[in-house]
Amino acid sequence: MSSIVTGASGFIGRMLTRMLVDSGEKVVGIDRVPQPPRPGLTVLTADLLDDDGLVRAALADADAVYHLAGCPGVRDHGDGIAWRRHRDNVLAGARVLNAVPKHVPLLVASSSSVYGGARAGRPSHEADPVRPAGGYAESKVLLERLCAERLERGGRTTVLRPFTVAGEGQRPDMALSLWLAAAREGRPLRVLGSLDRTRDVTDVRQAAQAMIDLAASGAQGVVNVGTGRGQTLRALAAAVAEVLDTEVAFAVEPAPRIEPGASLADTRRLRSLIGWSPRTDLHDVVRRQAAAARPLLEVA
């Protein structure tokens, strides 16, 4: 097997690439951010919107393509963010969708944010109407529409909707990374809304394995990647305190409109396709993420 991972230097991309290589696959990792090559991994440092011949050839010749590249960050309100989201999530996605042959399985990372949160505590199902709140989720809805068009034209296409992925390598702007940094520095943990809000926290290792299994299953259409179990922010904070062996305080602020009260995946379709769904050991995930971040702090 030869697999392509776009966004191979990103949080989930790094884990997915490692697991594919460890399983014996030949992987081409494409990203604007350089990464060190290693046995089994060919690195292409390129922008997907550049007319790069090596990227075109790789996408045309792969046995499977995992398109994880994009502009992350639900809460980002910086200058030019709307254009960057459209460029990196929609236009770059369209380039990949058009470059990959129809017979090649193409798995595209969307986001659980397209649901706008769980409704009345009920798990979000793939057939639910989308309710994007904010520019990030809206850009992912546009990407999903392009995927639906490819599927209608006979292209093998799977849309992945991951729920709050955590673990080693998580981006520094995500809540768990921010909380670990704050707890280490003795600062209060910033909480939006309430500690009783819930998130479907998904272990990055299991999220990556689910993607690999979905590629092998021949799945088509939209699939949630989550656990089906909500974890309160209070439980997440308790895990941070336990792992770091410290006491934590909180600074609770009103939640903006883009922050759902709860997220929860309906995992029935995922289980029907691959025979299992992720299970998250919250303490283990926090422990691994904290341990991975410590060397970076020591270097800095």
Q: 5 - beta bridge partners? A: 29, 66
| DSSP secondary structure of 55-114 | HHHHHHH-SEEEE--S---TT---TTHHHHHIIIIIIHHHHHHHHS-TTS-EEEE--GGG
Strands, DSSP E only, in the chain? 2-6, 26-31, 41-45, 64-67, 106-109, 157-162, 165-166, 189-192, 198-199, 202-203, 221-225, 231-232, 250-253
pLDDT tens, the chain, 300 aa long = 799 999 999 999 999 999 999 999 999 999 999 988 899 999 999 999 998 999 999 999 999 999 999 999 877 677 899 999 999 999 999 999 999 999 999 999 999 999 999 987 799 999 999 999 899 999 999 999 999 999 999 999 999 999 999 999 999 999 999 999 999 999 999 999 999 999 999 999 999 999 999 999 999 999 999 999 999 999 999 999 999 999 999 999 998 877 888 999 999 999 999 999 999 999 999 999 999 987 555 544
**How would you classify residue 186: left for phi > 0, otherwise alpha for psi between -120 and 50, otherwise beta?**
left
pLDDT of residue 300: 44
pLDDT of residue 255: 84
* Distance in angstroms (rounded) separating the CA atoms of residues 33 and 249: 36
Q: Which domains does the chain have, with CATH numbers?
A: 2-167+202-228+264-279 (3.40.50.720)
Q: Are 293 and 177 in contact (CB under 8 A)?
A: yes
| pLDDT digit string, tens, across residues 214-272 | 999 999 999 999 999 999 999 999 999 999 999 999 999 998 877 888 999 999 999 99
Q: Give residue for tokens 């505590």.
A: 121
Q: Report pTM.
A: 0.94
